[in-house]
Structure 1
Amino acid sequence: MPALNVLFVLVLAAYFFGATLHLLGVVSGRRPLRRAGESLTVAGFALHTVDLVALLATEGGAALLLGEFYFSLLAWSLLLICLFLWWRLRLEMLGLLAAPLALFLFLSSQAVTAQRMPLPKALGGLFFGLHIGALFLAISLLAMACGAGLAYLYLERKIKTKEKLSGFSKALPALSTCDTVNRWAVAAGFPLYTIGLLSGFIWAKLTWNRIFSYDPKEIIAICVWLLFAFLFHQRLFIGWRGRKTAKLAIWISCLTLVSLLVINFFVPTHHSFARYIDGASNIPVRTQP
């Protein structure tokens, strides 16, 4: 079995068992299971990093044109943000969100390949990398804000109805902690999303000689930016917190998922993966295990 296939299986197994053990630990209240799940998730992230580096080393610059690479990179970015917040805020519950999402995205990465596009010339490569890197980090932060928002609304309802907290509910962090995750994600995510959007327009100008082409993906991206800008302003300058910011973060995150999964696969766009499923393009794809 080729080395890349072995890495794929190891990452998949680490994420799957990490998510499973973490969930079982939370539901049963057994800390050793949660610890084991956390350790496997971290091990999966380390192996995932090696897998991305190996893919770049094997495919060279062609890896930057593979849908496989982008979905895998998005999963990696999500875990990176999760592990940072996990370490900084001691939020073990983030594993319940990040590990399953990373597993889904990493597994999905093996089903798609992207259209072969011309590599940007001159400074195009710089803006291309900035575009992808900044957007993926921003999307990952939005996912964390969405998870924290869902936890906030769920826990708030439990408290208002005076229901007894047990099992999963008992393991949730305090409302103030969920709100802190939202604040951090919005404060860091909006500037990153703005950088990603602007660098994408610059890259489009250098590559296709036009900044905006009314592509569905670009229109959705502008809508997300406007909503994100509103949330950023209300959160940091007006002082919004709690339920309002939780709900808005969830809606924005859902819109980015629509952009990523619906627009890319089912709507005609030059960002589409729909015409390049299972090796339909001429770009080499890693052999499936």
Structure 2
Amino acid sequence: MPALNILFLLVLAGYFLGAVSHLLGVVTGKAGLRRAGWLLTVGGFVCHTLDLAALLVLEGGMAFLSGEFYFSLLAWSLLLICLFLWWRLRLGMLGLLASPLALFLFLSSQAVTAARMPLPKALGGLFFGLHIGALFLAISLLAMACGAGVAYLYLERKIKTKEKLGGFAKALPALSTCDTVNRWAVAAGFPLYTLGLLSGFIWAKLTWNRIFSYDPKEITAICIWMLFAFLFHQRLVLGWQGRKPARMAIWLFGLTLVSMLVINFYMPTHHSFARYIDGASDLPVWPQP
């Protein structure tokens, strides 16, 4: 539809130009370019919100039954978390991470062929609201923790080797600020991931009459949860700071990307986009993170 096509182009333009402006602002040290990057990114986020809302209005509940909708929603969730952290901490460098990643996820959503499946109406709201919503917010928080971890390790190495901080390194926030972002993201992300995982198992029991089926996706999700629980405990209870939580957040987010991009597409799983695209399964299989 013409309106949706226009919104799609506006989202792409906002995220792409926002990422470029952020990068140029960091490289040149010009605050005006960084401010322009934020404005463009926010503009892309607004258009993205309208795009998702338009899909819901035009397609109703069928919008929830398409693989591309979930990747688009993940990109939107990432920007939502990024904008919230920017509002709370005033970290301009978050845009350098969020804009390119949101652009990548939004473009990825267009590469996933729609897969429409019958869904019991009584379960639709519960599944989407708890399972998908909680997991996507948790993954977005992990992305922020990962970005803060990368910045922390990079800046720490520069300081330890007594290299001159210029260009990109000079624009990075203080080590303590990077650590704060990591702590906030882990503290909020783990409960959300737990909620998303539990609601997924409950939905599986109600839909397939089994909680766990030793599916690669389910096994990976449990492994991620266990590592996330360990990081949450070490971070909040034992007071982990610095390199250890930074490195673990990077590994955790990398594992979630493997789960979404490798398992969902290239491994035999109930949650595979590819299986449904090829019509290989008649189960009410759902794409999930």
Written as runs of structure 1 = structure 2, the 5 A alignment for 1:19-168 is 19-123=19-123, 125-168=125-168
- CA distance in structure 2 between the aligned counterparts of 1:135 and 1:212, rounded to whole angstroms: 18
Q: Aligned partners of 1:264 and 1:201: how far apart in 2?
A: 18
User: Kindly tell me: are residues 40 and 278 of structure 1, through their superposed partners in 2, closer, same or farther at Cα, counting changes over 3 Å?
Assistant: farther
Q: What pairs up with 1:190-205 in 2 under 5 angstroms?
A: 190-205=190-205
Give 1:259-278 correspondences, 5 Å limit.
Answer: 259-275=259-275
What amino acid does structure 2 have at the position aligned with 1:160?
A: K
Of 265-274 and 246-255, deviating more is 265-274
CA distance in 1, matches of 2:120, 2:247: 39
Quick check: 2:115–2:277 contact (8 Å CA) kept in 1? no
Q: Is the 8 A contact 1:4 1:54 kept in 2?
A: yes
Give 1:123 shift: 4.4
Of residues 63-72 and 110-119 in structure 1, the stretch that sits farther from structure 2 once superposed is: 110-119
User: Aligned to 2:10, what secondary structure does the other structure show?
Assistant: helix
State whether residues 150 and 250 of structure 2, in contact with CA within 8 Å, keep that contact through their aligned partners in structure 1: yes
Contact residue 139 and residue 189 of structure 2 kept, 8 A: yes
The whole-number CA distance in structure 2 between the counterparts of 1:240 and 1:205 is: 37
Query: What is the CA-CA distance between 1:275 and the residue it aligns to?
Result: 3.8
Percent of aligned pairs with the same amino acid: 84
Count of aligned pairs between the two proteins: 281
State the one-letter code of the partner of 2:243: R
Structure 1 counterpart of 2:210, one-letter code: R
* 1:82-105 C-alpha deviation (Å, 9 max, x unpaired): 000011000000001000000000
**1:163 is paired with a residue of what secondary structure?**
coil
Q: Would the alpha carbon gap of residues 276 and 11 (structure 1) be closer, same or farther in structure 2, given more than 3 Å must change?
A: farther
Larger relative contact order (Cα-Cα within 8 Å, sequence gap ≥ 6): 1
Contact preservation (8 Å) 2:21, 2:33: yes
After the TM superposition, which segments of 4 or more aligned residues of structure 1 sit over 6 Å from their partners?
Answer: 278-281
C-alpha contact 1:22 1:38 (8 A) present in aligned 2: yes
Q: Deviations over 1:90-140 (max 9, x none)?
A: 000000100000000001111103543331353453134210000000000
Change (3 A) 1:73 1:280: farther
- The CA distance in 1 between the partners of 2:191 and 2:121, in whole Å, is 26
How much has 1:166 moved relative to structure 2? 0.1
Secondary structure of the structure 2 residue equivalent to 1:122: helix
Aligned to 1:269, the other structure's residue is in SS state coil
CA deviations over 1:233-264 (Å, ceiling 9, x no partner): 00000111100000011111100000011001
CA 278–81 in structure 1, closer or farther in 2 if over 3 Å, else same = farther
Q: Determine the structure 1 residue equivalent to 2:2.
A: 2
Query: 1:207: how far off?
Result: 1.2
Q: Deviations over 1:52-73 (max 9, x none)?
A: 0001111111110101110000
Q: Distance in 1 between matches of 2:150 and 2:51?
A: 32
Q: Secondary structure at the match of 2:237?
A: helix
Which residue is 2:13 aligned to? 13
User: Which letter does structure 2 place at the counterpart of 1:53?
Assistant: A
Q: Secondary structure at the match of 1:118?
A: coil
Instruction: Give, as a single letter, the amino acid of the residue that structure 2 aligns with 1:260.
Output: M
Counterpart residue identity of residue 48, structure 2: H
Q: Deviations over 1:4-58 (max 9, x none)?
A: 1110011001100010011101110011111111100000000100000001111
TM-score, normalised via structure 1 length:
0.94
Q: d(CA) in 2 for partners of 1:74 and 1:177?
A: 25
Distance 1:129 1:8, change over 3 A: same
Code of the aligned partner of 1:233: H
Aligned AA for 2:164?
A: K
Query: 2: CA distance between counterparts of 1:123 and 1:171?
Result: 47
Q: Counterpart of 1:117 in 2: which secondary structure?
A: coil
Could you tell me which runs of 5 or more consecutive residues in structure 1 were left unpaired when the two chains were aligned: 282-289
Return the offset for 1:277.
5.7
Q: Distance in 2 between matches of 1:168 and 1:269?
A: 41
Can you list the C-alpha shifts for 1:259-280, whole angstroms capped at 9, x where unaligned? 0110011111121112456999
